[in-house]
Homo-oligomer: A and B are copies of this chain.
Amino acid sequence: MIEGEEEVGSKSLEDFLAKNRKKLDADALVLSDTSMLAPGVPSITYGLRGLNYFQLEITGAAQDLHSGVFGGAAPNPLTILAELIAKLHDRNGRVTVPGFYDDVASLPRAERKALNSLPWKEKDFRKTVGARDLNGEKGFTVVERLWTRPTLEVNGIWGGYIGEGAKTVIPSKASMKFSCRLVPDQDPKTITRLVEKYIRGLLPKTVTAKFEALSTGKPWAAPYTHPIFQTAQKALEEGFKKKAVFIREGGSIPLVTQIYDTFKVPCVLLGFGLPDENAHAPDEHIRLENYFGGIRAVALFYQKLGEMQAAPAR
Protein backbone atom coordinates (compact mmCIF):
# COMPACT_ATOMS: atom_id res chain seq x y z
CA MET A 1 0.00 0.00 0.00
CA ILE A 2 1.35 3.38 -0.97
CA GLU A 3 -0.15 6.28 0.94
CA GLY A 4 0.78 9.85 0.09
CA GLU A 5 -1.07 11.97 2.64
CA GLU A 6 0.93 11.10 5.72
CA GLU A 7 2.24 14.64 6.27
CA VAL A 8 -1.28 16.08 6.16
CA GLY A 9 -2.82 13.60 8.59
CA SER A 10 -3.90 10.79 6.16
CA LYS A 11 -7.32 12.38 5.90
CA SER A 12 -8.64 10.17 3.07
CA LEU A 13 -7.35 6.89 4.44
CA GLU A 14 -10.02 6.12 7.01
CA ASP A 15 -12.82 6.10 4.42
CA PHE A 16 -10.65 4.14 2.00
CA LEU A 17 -9.93 1.47 4.62
CA ALA A 18 -13.60 1.14 5.51
CA LYS A 19 -14.62 0.80 1.87
CA ASN A 20 -11.88 -1.71 1.03
CA ARG A 21 -11.92 -3.61 4.30
CA LYS A 22 -11.93 -7.08 2.70
CA LYS A 23 -9.60 -6.39 -0.18
CA LEU A 24 -6.96 -5.01 2.18
CA ASP A 25 -7.18 -7.82 4.73
CA ALA A 26 -3.67 -8.86 5.77
CA ASP A 27 -1.71 -10.61 8.50
CA ALA A 28 0.34 -7.61 9.54
CA LEU A 29 1.37 -4.05 8.76
CA VAL A 30 5.06 -3.57 8.00
CA LEU A 31 6.09 0.06 7.62
CA SER A 32 9.34 1.96 7.34
CA ASP A 33 8.66 5.52 8.54
CA THR A 34 10.38 5.58 11.92
CA SER A 35 13.95 6.01 13.14
CA MET A 36 16.68 3.91 14.66
CA LEU A 37 17.41 4.76 18.27
CA ALA A 38 21.06 5.57 17.54
CA PRO A 39 23.79 4.68 15.05
CA GLY A 40 24.38 0.92 15.23
CA VAL A 41 21.13 0.23 17.10
CA PRO A 42 18.47 -1.26 14.79
CA SER A 43 15.06 -0.58 16.29
CA ILE A 44 11.44 -1.67 16.18
CA THR A 45 8.98 1.04 17.21
CA TYR A 46 5.93 -0.05 19.24
CA GLY A 47 4.58 3.37 20.25
CA LEU A 48 3.94 6.72 18.56
CA ARG A 49 2.52 10.00 19.71
CA GLY A 50 -0.63 11.33 18.13
CA LEU A 51 -0.80 14.76 16.57
CA ASN A 52 -3.39 17.53 16.54
CA TYR A 53 -2.42 20.46 14.35
CA PHE A 54 -4.10 23.83 14.87
CA GLN A 55 -4.13 27.28 13.38
CA LEU A 56 -5.20 30.45 15.14
CA GLU A 57 -5.75 33.90 13.68
CA ILE A 58 -6.58 36.81 15.93
CA THR A 59 -7.83 40.18 14.71
CA GLY A 60 -7.70 43.51 16.50
CA ALA A 61 -8.28 46.62 14.41
CA ALA A 62 -10.22 46.52 11.14
CA GLN A 63 -7.01 47.31 9.21
CA ASP A 64 -3.30 47.81 9.81
CA LEU A 65 -2.63 50.96 11.85
CA HIS A 66 0.23 53.46 12.02
CA SER A 67 2.03 52.78 15.31
CA GLY A 68 2.64 56.49 15.89
CA VAL A 69 -0.90 57.65 15.35
CA PHE A 70 -2.55 54.72 17.16
CA GLY A 71 0.21 53.22 19.35
CA GLY A 72 -0.65 53.28 23.03
CA ALA A 73 -4.42 52.96 22.67
CA ALA A 74 -5.12 50.39 19.93
CA PRO A 75 -4.87 46.65 20.67
CA ASN A 76 -1.78 44.98 19.19
CA PRO A 77 -2.62 41.41 18.09
CA LEU A 78 1.09 40.48 18.07
CA THR A 79 1.43 41.30 21.74
CA ILE A 80 -1.89 39.67 22.54
CA LEU A 81 -0.89 36.49 20.68
CA ALA A 82 2.44 36.44 22.53
CA GLU A 83 0.69 36.90 25.87
CA LEU A 84 -1.62 34.01 24.97
CA ILE A 85 1.28 31.69 24.07
CA ALA A 86 3.07 32.61 27.29
CA LYS A 87 0.07 31.30 29.24
CA LEU A 88 0.03 27.88 27.55
CA HIS A 89 2.87 26.44 29.68
CA ASP A 90 3.55 26.79 33.39
CA ARG A 91 6.95 27.18 35.05
CA ASN A 92 7.42 23.41 35.13
CA GLY A 93 6.99 23.08 31.37
CA ARG A 94 3.51 21.60 31.71
CA VAL A 95 0.71 22.50 29.33
CA THR A 96 -1.84 24.60 31.22
CA VAL A 97 -4.93 23.60 29.20
CA PRO A 98 -7.38 22.31 31.86
CA GLY A 99 -7.93 18.56 31.45
CA PHE A 100 -5.01 18.17 29.05
CA TYR A 101 -3.38 15.42 31.12
CA ASP A 102 -6.57 13.79 32.43
CA ASP A 103 -6.48 10.81 30.06
CA VAL A 104 -2.71 10.30 29.93
CA ALA A 105 -2.09 6.66 30.90
CA SER A 106 0.60 6.27 33.52
CA LEU A 107 3.67 4.43 32.33
CA PRO A 108 4.07 0.92 33.87
CA ARG A 109 7.18 0.76 36.04
CA ALA A 110 8.73 -2.04 33.94
CA GLU A 111 8.27 -0.12 30.68
CA ARG A 112 9.62 3.05 32.21
CA LYS A 113 12.71 1.17 33.33
CA ALA A 114 13.14 -0.51 29.93
CA LEU A 115 12.86 2.78 28.01
CA ASN A 116 15.34 4.51 30.30
CA SER A 117 17.81 1.61 29.98
CA LEU A 118 18.06 1.72 26.19
CA PRO A 119 21.48 2.39 24.63
CA TRP A 120 20.65 6.07 24.15
CA LYS A 121 22.89 8.94 25.21
CA GLU A 122 21.48 12.28 26.27
CA LYS A 123 24.86 13.77 25.37
CA ASP A 124 24.36 12.77 21.71
CA PHE A 125 20.81 14.11 21.74
CA ARG A 126 22.04 17.45 23.10
CA LYS A 127 24.67 17.56 20.37
CA THR A 128 22.04 16.91 17.68
CA VAL A 129 19.80 19.67 19.02
CA GLY A 130 22.76 22.03 19.22
CA ALA A 131 21.05 24.49 21.56
CA ARG A 132 22.73 25.86 24.68
CA ASP A 133 20.45 23.74 26.85
CA LEU A 134 17.38 21.50 26.74
CA ASN A 135 14.06 22.21 28.41
CA GLY A 136 10.71 20.48 28.88
CA GLU A 137 8.38 19.03 31.48
CA LYS A 138 9.88 18.68 34.95
CA GLY A 139 9.81 15.27 36.63
CA PHE A 140 10.48 13.24 33.48
CA THR A 141 13.67 12.08 31.79
CA VAL A 142 14.38 13.31 28.27
CA VAL A 143 13.36 9.92 26.80
CA GLU A 144 10.09 10.02 28.72
CA ARG A 145 9.41 13.59 27.59
CA LEU A 146 10.00 12.69 23.95
CA TRP A 147 8.08 9.41 23.79
CA THR A 148 5.54 9.24 26.57
CA ARG A 149 4.48 12.79 27.40
CA PRO A 150 2.15 15.06 25.43
CA THR A 151 3.29 18.48 24.22
CA LEU A 152 2.00 21.74 22.86
CA GLU A 153 4.44 23.37 20.44
CA VAL A 154 4.16 26.52 18.37
CA ASN A 155 5.25 25.58 14.84
CA GLY A 156 4.92 28.92 13.10
CA ILE A 157 4.03 32.50 13.90
CA TRP A 158 3.53 35.53 11.71
CA GLY A 159 2.08 39.01 11.63
CA GLY A 160 2.95 42.62 10.90
CA TYR A 161 5.96 43.75 8.92
CA ILE A 162 8.60 41.10 8.36
CA GLY A 163 10.61 42.53 5.46
CA GLU A 164 13.95 44.32 5.44
CA GLY A 165 14.32 47.37 7.67
CA ALA A 166 11.54 49.11 9.56
CA LYS A 167 7.83 49.70 9.15
CA THR A 168 5.93 51.25 12.00
CA VAL A 169 2.75 49.24 11.84
CA ILE A 170 0.32 47.81 14.37
CA PRO A 171 -1.11 44.97 12.31
CA SER A 172 -4.73 44.05 12.20
CA LYS A 173 -3.98 40.33 12.48
CA ALA A 174 -1.54 37.89 14.08
CA SER A 175 -1.45 34.14 13.43
CA MET A 176 0.16 30.98 14.63
CA LYS A 177 0.31 27.33 13.72
CA PHE A 178 0.69 25.03 16.70
CA SER A 179 0.30 21.38 17.50
CA CYS A 180 -0.11 18.90 20.30
CA ARG A 181 1.69 15.58 20.38
CA LEU A 182 -0.62 13.16 22.15
CA VAL A 183 0.01 9.97 24.10
CA PRO A 184 -2.25 7.07 25.11
CA ASP A 185 -5.07 7.43 26.11
CA GLN A 186 -5.62 11.05 25.07
CA ASP A 187 -8.45 11.48 22.59
CA PRO A 188 -7.70 13.94 19.75
CA LYS A 189 -11.27 15.26 19.59
CA THR A 190 -11.39 15.90 23.33
CA ILE A 191 -8.03 17.67 23.19
CA THR A 192 -9.18 19.90 20.33
CA ARG A 193 -12.26 20.88 22.29
CA LEU A 194 -10.25 21.60 25.47
CA VAL A 195 -7.58 23.60 23.64
CA GLU A 196 -10.05 25.76 21.72
CA LYS A 197 -12.15 26.45 24.80
CA TYR A 198 -9.12 27.42 26.88
CA ILE A 199 -7.65 29.69 24.22
CA ARG A 200 -10.93 31.49 23.59
CA GLY A 201 -11.26 32.05 27.31
CA LEU A 202 -7.76 33.53 27.58
CA LEU A 203 -8.07 36.10 24.79
CA PRO A 204 -9.02 39.65 25.79
CA LYS A 205 -12.21 41.22 24.51
CA THR A 206 -10.20 43.57 22.28
CA VAL A 207 -9.73 40.84 19.65
CA THR A 208 -11.67 38.20 17.73
CA ALA A 209 -10.27 34.75 16.99
CA LYS A 210 -10.51 32.16 14.22
CA PHE A 211 -9.51 28.70 15.49
CA GLU A 212 -9.02 25.75 13.11
CA ALA A 213 -8.01 22.13 13.68
CA LEU A 214 -6.09 21.32 10.48
CA SER A 215 -5.59 17.65 11.33
CA THR A 216 -5.90 15.19 14.18
CA GLY A 217 -4.18 11.87 14.80
CA LYS A 218 -4.50 9.37 17.60
CA PRO A 219 -1.56 8.19 19.69
CA TRP A 220 -0.61 4.52 19.44
CA ALA A 221 1.23 2.02 21.64
CA ALA A 222 0.79 -1.73 21.34
CA PRO A 223 2.39 -4.80 22.93
CA TYR A 224 5.04 -6.57 20.83
CA THR A 225 4.01 -10.10 21.82
CA HIS A 226 3.03 -11.52 18.42
CA PRO A 227 5.73 -13.89 16.99
CA ILE A 228 6.21 -11.59 14.01
CA PHE A 229 8.04 -9.12 16.26
CA GLN A 230 10.67 -11.72 17.19
CA THR A 231 11.07 -12.54 13.51
CA ALA A 232 11.61 -8.85 12.73
CA GLN A 233 14.11 -8.54 15.57
CA LYS A 234 16.13 -11.50 14.24
CA ALA A 235 16.10 -10.09 10.70
CA LEU A 236 17.36 -6.73 11.95
CA GLU A 237 20.12 -8.33 13.98
CA GLU A 238 21.28 -10.44 11.04
CA GLY A 239 21.00 -7.55 8.59
CA PHE A 240 22.95 -5.12 10.80
CA LYS A 241 25.05 -7.59 12.81
CA LYS A 242 23.91 -5.65 15.90
CA LYS A 243 21.48 -6.17 18.75
CA ALA A 244 17.98 -4.80 17.89
CA VAL A 245 15.81 -3.02 20.46
CA PHE A 246 12.13 -2.13 20.98
CA ILE A 247 11.52 1.59 21.28
CA ARG A 248 8.79 4.23 21.17
CA GLU A 249 8.94 7.43 19.19
CA GLY A 250 7.79 10.99 19.62
CA GLY A 251 6.58 11.37 16.06
CA SER A 252 3.13 10.60 14.71
CA ILE A 253 1.90 8.30 11.93
CA PRO A 254 -1.91 8.50 11.71
CA LEU A 255 -1.84 5.63 9.19
CA VAL A 256 -0.62 3.20 11.87
CA THR A 257 -3.48 3.94 14.22
CA GLN A 258 -6.01 3.74 11.42
CA ILE A 259 -4.72 0.36 10.19
CA TYR A 260 -4.37 -0.96 13.74
CA ASP A 261 -7.90 0.12 14.66
CA THR A 262 -9.40 -1.24 11.44
CA PHE A 263 -7.65 -4.60 11.08
CA LYS A 264 -6.36 -5.32 14.61
CA VAL A 265 -3.15 -6.69 13.09
CA PRO A 266 0.33 -6.42 14.55
CA CYS A 267 2.10 -3.31 13.23
CA VAL A 268 5.83 -3.76 12.72
CA LEU A 269 7.61 -0.43 12.37
CA LEU A 270 11.12 -0.86 11.01
CA GLY A 271 12.85 2.46 10.49
CA PHE A 272 16.33 3.19 9.21
CA GLY A 273 16.73 6.94 9.62
CA LEU A 274 18.50 8.60 12.52
CA PRO A 275 17.33 11.53 14.66
CA ASP A 276 20.21 13.76 13.52
CA GLU A 277 19.40 13.42 9.82
CA ASN A 278 17.36 16.67 9.65
CA ALA A 279 13.92 15.14 9.12
CA HIS A 280 11.50 17.94 8.09
CA ALA A 281 14.38 20.39 7.77
CA PRO A 282 16.90 21.46 5.11
CA ASP A 283 19.53 18.88 4.11
CA GLU A 284 17.48 15.86 5.17
CA HIS A 285 19.56 12.77 4.48
CA ILE A 286 20.14 9.11 5.40
CA ARG A 287 23.39 7.30 6.20
CA LEU A 288 24.41 4.82 3.51
CA GLU A 289 25.28 2.10 6.06
CA ASN A 290 21.67 2.15 7.27
CA TYR A 291 20.31 2.31 3.75
CA PHE A 292 22.13 -0.91 2.86
CA GLY A 293 21.59 -2.46 6.31
CA GLY A 294 17.90 -1.75 5.89
CA ILE A 295 17.80 -3.44 2.49
CA ARG A 296 19.46 -6.55 3.96
CA ALA A 297 17.25 -6.62 7.04
CA VAL A 298 13.99 -6.18 5.15
CA ALA A 299 14.94 -8.86 2.62
CA LEU A 300 15.77 -11.24 5.48
CA PHE A 301 12.51 -10.31 7.23
CA TYR A 302 10.36 -11.19 4.21
CA GLN A 303 12.36 -14.41 3.70
CA LYS A 304 11.74 -15.38 7.34
CA LEU A 305 8.05 -14.44 7.08
CA GLY A 306 7.80 -16.87 4.14
CA GLU A 307 9.36 -19.55 6.31
CA MET A 308 7.02 -18.91 9.25
CA GLN A 309 4.37 -21.53 9.85
CA ALA A 310 0.93 -20.45 8.69
CA ALA A 311 -0.19 -19.20 12.09
CA PRO A 312 -3.38 -17.27 12.89
CA ALA A 313 -2.50 -13.63 12.38
CA ARG A 314 -4.73 -12.25 15.09
Contacts and interface: CB of A to CB of B under 8 A. Distances in A.
How many of these chains are in the complex? Answer: 2
Interface stretch (A166-174, A262-270, A288-296, A299-307): A166-174
Contacts of A298: none
A136 interface: yes
A312 interface: no
Contacts of A137: 72
Contacts of A156: 78, 159-162, 167, 169, 171
B79 A154 contact: yes
A155 B135 contact: no
A219 to B, nearest CB: 11
A130 B71 contact: no
A79 B153 contact: yes
B166 A60 contact: no
Contacts of A165: 8, 214
Interface in A106-156: 125, 129-137, 142, 145-146, 149, 151, 153-156
Contacts of A170: 153, 155
A12 interface: no
Interface in A1-18: 7-9
Contacts of A158: 157-158, 162
A67 B179 contact: yes
A62 B214 contact: no
